[in-house]
Chain A
Amino acid sequence: MSSKTAVIAKLALRNLRRQARRSLLTAASMIAGGALLIFSLILGDGTHEQWIDSAVRMADGHLAVQSVGFQDSRALKDRIPSESRGLVEQALRQGGFPANINDMVPRLAVTGMASSAAGARPARILGVDPVVEAAFSVLDEKVRQGRYLQSGDRLAAFVGIGLLEALDLRLGSKFVLTAQDAGGEIAGQLVRVVGTFRTGIPEVDRSLLHIPLSTAGAWLGCSGDVTSIGLLLGNSEQVPQTRSSLRQRLSQHPGSEELQVLSWRESLPELDAAVKIDDFSNYLFQGILFGIIALGIVNTVLMSVMYRRREFGVLQALGLTPGQSASLVLVEGLFLTVLSGTIGIALGLSVTWFLWGEGLDLSSMMNNEWTFSGVVMEPVVVPRFRVARMVQGLSFIFLIGMLASLYPALRALRIDVAETMKFER
């Protein structure tokens, strides 16, 4: 049996070699396709990881621990009381801080109004721990004037440039924050601008400001409480696994029923949609492209079967079963596609690695900032090489080769031995 398989493989290879030019031309389209496939996949992954990274740093991290109702209400009543916050932090540290969690930030978020003599604007006010927040968030790198919050700051505010301009403030200006406190009363807090940032996302620059967590707690009458605890992981692929282990750890503690662990896909549904539509259009394009490549392969393999009708007739007369002649054709097609597909993928990988391994600079095409679902597109795309994508690409190419060789193989199966040898063609 195995010797027969070896013979079929040998025959298939010889047939391909005998028609070297034809094989090469067919392979060329597959090599180009494979290179393009892997290039767009790794570049797409790199782009998406960048979106996710900058979005989760702006929002509540790859994973966020919140009270059950907070995602819907966004209200202070659904906060995590200080006891539960201690519980979460303890659960995380117990038995070692999980290796793939890079940072953990407590935050107290409230929606209110910022007002100065020049007017008032709705504001998203975030009470943060200045030290850990500086490591977690990207805001401290977007400083326009002044500085980010520091430990020891009390009445300091780090304000978006749009909000600053709308309220006609400058560094050192005082302004008033108004929001509903934990007791349901309207409370005001005077703060002073210590720094401004610009992210490029208009919604954020117009409305977001950071104040120290202790100041926010005292102002809103809930010192020590937070609305969410954000976790930053090494990369987005670690999310599902870390999330289930975190859930398991939390469930061992009493009082954890009130808490839930949200992934960025749930807390940022728009970003999730943006990643999905981008992947979808990429898959659509690749699907169509490989459809065309497959038609080319069908054509060559089918023609080679038609030319060799007599040859198949003789082979079958000598004892090759129809099934074996069909598998010969199949193996030929598969050899051709898988070999050329692998070369294509290797080519795509090395070209991407050598030319754009450090990042593909698109800034010449983008003069303005592009935002997708609240994320600024970085003008430099860093490709992301993942083994899973290569396996995916190879299996896809294998599938295409299989499908494209199926019809020619079927034709070889149905060859009438007597008919093919009747006359000279």
Chain B
Amino acid sequence: MALPSWWLIGWRNLGRNPRRTFITALGLAAGYFAVIFMIGFADGLKVEMIENGTGLMTGQIQIHSPRYRPDRSLYETLGGRAGADFEAVIRTVVRDPAVVAAAPRVYGAGLLSSGQSTRGGMLMGIDLDRESGVSRLMSSLSQGRAPNPAANELLIGTEMARRLELQVGDEVILVAPAADGSMGNDIFRVCGLYRTGMAELDGAFALVPIRSLQRLLALDPGRIHEIALSTTDPWLAPEAGRRLAAGLAPLGVELHVLDWTGLRPEMLEYALLMDSWYSIVVIIVFAIALFGVANTMLMSTFERRREFSVMLALGARPHQILLTVISEATALGWISLVLGVAVTFPLIAWWHQYPIDLSWIYGDLTMLGALIRPVLRIEYNFPMSMWTGLALLLTAVTAGLYPAARAAWMPPADTLSGL
């Protein structure tokens, strides 16, 4: 029964100077908040980058002919020049539990001419219904309507529209080298404008119904360049990619399945570096908080030096005094943790729900080729919350060690006689 009584003494000592206890606990709680907030912010940036980097256009997984990347030649369609039954591929991949949707795509490059002005641009042939399950391109429509899949209609980005001085309803001439060696050219009608916020997309890509583009580029309906897939969670994509590669082998078509970590390795690297940065934040913040706690503990033990001397004189062993002070520090740690959690989580939840608008500081930017909106996006990170809590308790106990040792080995007679 010795342990609980030392515990109790430590706990009571905290109550003897509530203001000091509160301020010290506030310091540790602020440290907890700081770490969780910084990690939430960094996680938000990471998630934003991965979501936009994959969800805006790329998709989480892509399937190509093995020779398509990195040259992206017009001729390297799925299954080679003969084409393939890509519908069978799509039927197979959407059966995977991690895959949400899949959409075929055709790419070409050419000149867009409005009469007054001409610019080079990328032409992207999309299946309108299926594309919206994979990317946010179709939901970025800012003016007009989606093209009619059967007609020569297209969507262009607001940036390109401005530079070509085009309005919704205007005609535009497309000229593009076709797969049969000729120059394909046709008149299209701009039926709408899209805006993603990425100048690179909005200024360069024209979205064309897949059949219309295949006609322009002299490609058979069975020839596509890419199947883009979305998954329920970006982090499930690498695993799903491996499953799909195995599952597609029986189809007998040469295919290359690549998830976003392979398409954009720098994004994965950034995410991993962020994770290791978290522990550095924890160490820095608590190392600095450590001094404050140690200082207060030192003061409170010094204040009670007579009390400890009396206890020692009455027969308490030094290690029991040590235990008292350490349990006091531990109790302080727990109070701080409860305070920190009580302050942090409501705030994090609030900011997660209603991200703070930062557009007054900076505009849209791109990071590793992904759009980042100017909002303070906060994400939850439960494992890190646990580790940080542990680090807080450890800090409190570490801070208590030196004051505890000083209290335990003070000379009782000298102290009592007032020396």
The chain A residues found within 8 Å of chain B, CB to CB, are 21-22, 25-26, 28-29, 32-33, 36, 72-75, 111-115, 118-123, 162, 165-166, 168, 178-180, 184, 186, 202-203, 269-270, 272-274, 276-277, 280-281, 284-285, 288-289, 291-293, 295-296, 298-300, 302-303, 365-374
Interface residues of B in 363-388 (CB under 8 A from A): 363-369, 372, 374
Residues of the A chain whose Cβ atoms lie less than 8 Å from the Cβ of B70: 162, 165
- In the assembled complex, the Cα of A111 lies from the Cα of B37 at a distance in Å of 44
- In the assembled complex, the Cα of A300 lies from the Cα of B10 at a distance in Å of 21
Asked if A299 and B23 sit within 8 Å, CB to CB, the answer is yes
Using an 8 Å CB-CB cutoff, how does the interface string of B248-287 with A read, 1 for contact, 0 for none? 0000000000000000011001100100000001001101
- In the assembled complex, the Cα of A154 lies from the Cα of B85 at a distance in Å of 49
Asked if B289 and A291 sit within 8 Å, CB to CB, the answer is no
B interface residue count range (under 10 / 10 to 19 / 20 to 34 / 35 or more): 35 or more
Asked if A303 and B292 sit within 8 Å, CB to CB, the answer is no
Asked if A288 and B73 sit within 8 Å, CB to CB, the answer is no
Asked if A303 and B20 sit within 8 Å, CB to CB, the answer is yes
Q: Using known A-B contacts A120-B109, A270-B199, determine if residue A26 contacts B295 with beta carbons closer than 8 Å.
A: yes
Residues of the A chain whose Cβ atoms lie less than 8 Å from the Cβ of B204: 122
Residue of A nearest to B366 (CB): A373
The chain B residues found within 8 Å of chain A, CB to CB, are 19-20, 23-24, 26-27, 30-31, 33-34, 37-38, 41, 70-74, 109-111, 113, 116-122, 162-163, 176-177, 199-200, 204, 265-266, 269-270, 273, 281, 284-285, 287-289, 291-292, 294-296, 298-299, 358, 361-369, 372, 374
Residues of the A chain whose Cβ atoms lie less than 8 Å from the Cβ of B20: 299, 302-303
- In the assembled complex, the Cα of A43 lies from the Cα of B409 at a distance in Å of 46
Q: Separation in Å of the B9 CB from the closest CB of chain A?
A: 21
- In the assembled complex, the Cα of A111 lies from the Cα of B368 at a distance in Å of 24
Q: Using known A-B contacts A21-B298, A25-B298, A270-B365, determine if residue A75 contacts B34 with beta carbons closer than 8 Å.
A: no
Residues of the B chain whose Cβ atoms lie less than 8 Å from the Cβ of A168: 71, 73
Residues of the A chain whose Cβ atoms lie less than 8 Å from the Cβ of B37: 288
A73, A111, A123 interface centre (most CB from chain B within 10 Å): A111
Q: Which 4 A-B pairs have the closest CB atoms?
A: A296-B292, A122-B120, A273-B365, A29-B291
The main secondary structure of chain A at its interface with chain B is helix
Asked if A74 and B163 sit within 8 Å, CB to CB, the answer is yes
Asked if B24 and A292 sit within 8 Å, CB to CB, the answer is no
Write 9 A-B pairs (CB below 8 A) sorted by A numbering.
A26-B291, A75-B117, A112-B120, A276-B362, A285-B281, A292-B289, A293-B288, A371-B266, A372-B365
Residue of A nearest to B35 (CB): A288
Asked if A273 and B374 sit within 8 Å, CB to CB, the answer is yes
Asked if B74 and A365 sit within 8 Å, CB to CB, the answer is no
Asked if A122 and B122 sit within 8 Å, CB to CB, the answer is yes
Q: Separation in Å of the B115 CB from the closest CB of chain A?
A: 9
Asked if B365 and A289 sit within 8 Å, CB to CB, the answer is no
Asked if A371 and B368 sit within 8 Å, CB to CB, the answer is yes
Residue of A nearest to B290 (CB): A29
- In the assembled complex, the Cα of A111 lies from the Cα of B30 at a distance in Å of 53
Residues of the A chain whose Cβ atoms lie less than 8 Å from the Cβ of B118: 112, 179-180, 186
> Apart from A180-B118, A186-B118, what 7 extra A-B contacts exist at CB < 8 Å?
A119-B73, A121-B109, A180-B113, A272-B363, A292-B27, A292-B292, A366-B269
Asked if B23 and A298 sit within 8 Å, CB to CB, the answer is yes
Asked if A120 and B176 sit within 8 Å, CB to CB, the answer is yes
Q: Separation in Å of the B114 CB from the closest CB of chain A?
A: 10
- In the assembled complex, the Cα of A270 lies from the Cα of B294 at a distance in Å of 45
Residues of the A chain whose Cβ atoms lie less than 8 Å from the Cβ of B38: 284-285, 288
Asked if A119 and B177 sit within 8 Å, CB to CB, the answer is yes
Option from A122, A300, A366 in Cβ contact (under 8 Å) with B121: A122
Q: Separation in Å of the B104 CB from the closest CB of chain A?
A: 20
Asked if B109 and A122 sit within 8 Å, CB to CB, the answer is yes
- In the assembled complex, the Cα of A122 lies from the Cα of B111 at a distance in Å of 8
Asked if A372 and B117 sit within 8 Å, CB to CB, the answer is no
Asked if B163 and A291 sit within 8 Å, CB to CB, the answer is no
Q: Using known A-B contacts A119-B109, A365-B273, determine if residue A277 contacts B163 with beta carbons closer than 8 Å.
A: no
Residues of the B chain whose Cβ atoms lie less than 8 Å from the Cβ of A303: 20, 296, 299
Option from A22, A113, A179, A277 in Cβ contact (under 8 Å) with B372: A277
Asked if A273 and B363 sit within 8 Å, CB to CB, the answer is yes
Residues of the B chain whose Cβ atoms lie less than 8 Å from the Cβ of A22: 295, 298-299
Residues of the A chain whose Cβ atoms lie less than 8 Å from the Cβ of B284: 36, 289
Residues of the A chain whose Cβ atoms lie less than 8 Å from the Cβ of B374: 273, 277
Option from A21, A28, A113, A269 in Cβ contact (under 8 Å) with B110: A113
- In the assembled complex, the Cα of A367 lies from the Cα of B269 at a distance in Å of 8
Asked if B109 and A272 sit within 8 Å, CB to CB, the answer is no
Residues of the A chain whose Cβ atoms lie less than 8 Å from the Cβ of B19: 302
- In the assembled complex, the Cα of A180 lies from the Cα of B165 at a distance in Å of 14
Residues of the B chain whose Cβ atoms lie less than 8 Å from the Cβ of A292: 27, 30-31, 34, 285, 288-289, 292
Residue of B nearest to A118 (CB): B73
- In the assembled complex, the Cα of A36 lies from the Cα of B34 at a distance in Å of 16
Residues of the B chain whose Cβ atoms lie less than 8 Å from the Cβ of A299: 20, 23-24, 27, 292, 295-296
Q: Separation in Å of the B98 CB from the closest CB of chain A?
A: 25
Q: Separation in Å of the B151 CB from the closest CB of chain A?
A: 24
Q: Separation in Å of the A71 CB from the closest CB of chain B?
A: 11
Asked if A111 and B295 sit within 8 Å, CB to CB, the answer is no
Asked if A121 and B30 sit within 8 Å, CB to CB, the answer is no
Residue of B nearest to A73 (CB): B163
Q: Separation in Å of the B205 CB from the closest CB of chain A?
A: 10
- In the assembled complex, the Cα of A276 lies from the Cα of B360 at a distance in Å of 11
Q: Using known A-B contacts A119-B74, A274-B365, determine if residue A25 contacts B111 with beta carbons closer than 8 Å.
A: no
Asked if B30 and A295 sit within 8 Å, CB to CB, the answer is yes
Asked if B23 and A295 sit within 8 Å, CB to CB, the answer is yes
Asked if A372 and B71 sit within 8 Å, CB to CB, the answer is no
Residue of B nearest to A202 (CB): B369
- In the assembled complex, the Cα of A120 lies from the Cα of B73 at a distance in Å of 9
Q: Separation in Å of the A12 CB from the closest CB of chain B?
A: 18
Asked if A373 and B365 sit within 8 Å, CB to CB, the answer is yes
Asked if A295 and B27 sit within 8 Å, CB to CB, the answer is yes
Asked if B288 and A289 sit within 8 Å, CB to CB, the answer is yes
Q: Using known A-B contacts A121-B109, A123-B120, A368-B265, determine if residue A269 contacts B363 with beta carbons closer than 8 Å.
A: yes
Option from B117, B176, B291, B365 in Cβ contact (under 8 Å) with A277: B365
Q: Separation in Å of the B360 CB from the closest CB of chain A?
A: 11
- In the assembled complex, the Cα of A113 lies from the Cα of B362 at a distance in Å of 33
Asked if B289 and A166 sit within 8 Å, CB to CB, the answer is no
Residues of the B chain whose Cβ atoms lie less than 8 Å from the Cβ of A277: 358, 361-362, 365, 372, 374
Option from A32, A186, A203 in Cβ contact (under 8 Å) with B200: A203
Asked if A115 and B117 sit within 8 Å, CB to CB, the answer is no
Residue of A nearest to B270 (CB): A370
Residues of the B chain whose Cβ atoms lie less than 8 Å from the Cβ of A123: 120
Residue of B nearest to A185 (CB): B118
Residue of B nearest to A123 (CB): B120
Asked if A25 and B289 sit within 8 Å, CB to CB, the answer is no
Asked if A289 and B34 sit within 8 Å, CB to CB, the answer is yes
- In the assembled complex, the Cα of A369 lies from the Cα of B204 at a distance in Å of 23
Q: Separation in Å of the B106 CB from the closest CB of chain A?
A: 13
B34, B74, B117, B118 interface centre (most CB from chain A within 10 Å): B118
Option from B117, B162, B298, B368 in Cβ contact (under 8 Å) with A370: B368
- In the assembled complex, the Cα of A114 lies from the Cα of B373 at a distance in Å of 33
- In the assembled complex, the Cα of A120 lies from the Cα of B285 at a distance in Å of 54
Q: Separation in Å of the A393 CB from the closest CB of chain B?
A: 16
Residues of the B chain whose Cβ atoms lie less than 8 Å from the Cβ of A180: 113, 117-118
